[in-house]
Amino acid sequence: MKHLKFIKRIKSNVRDYREELGLTQQQLADKVGVSRQTIYYLEKGDYNPSLTLSFKLTEIFEKPLEKIFYQEPVIEDLLGGKTLDEIEKISVKTGINTKRIIKLKNLDEEELLEIFNEKELYNISEALGVEIEDLFEKEVEN
Return the amino acid letter for 24.
Answer: T
Q: Residue 108: phi, psi to the nearest 5?
A: -100, 175
Asked whether this chain's domains 2-6+73-140 and 10-70 adopt the same fold, the reply is yes
In CATH, what class is 10-70?
mainly alpha
In CATH, what class is 2-6+73-140?
mainly alpha
pLDDT in tens, the chain (142 residues): 356 788 888 889 999 999 999 999 999 999 999 999 999 999 988 888 999 999 999 999 999 999 999 988 888 888 888 899 999 999 999 999 999 888 887 777 778 777 888 888 889 889 988 988 888 886 645 5
Q: What is the pTM of this model?
A: 0.70
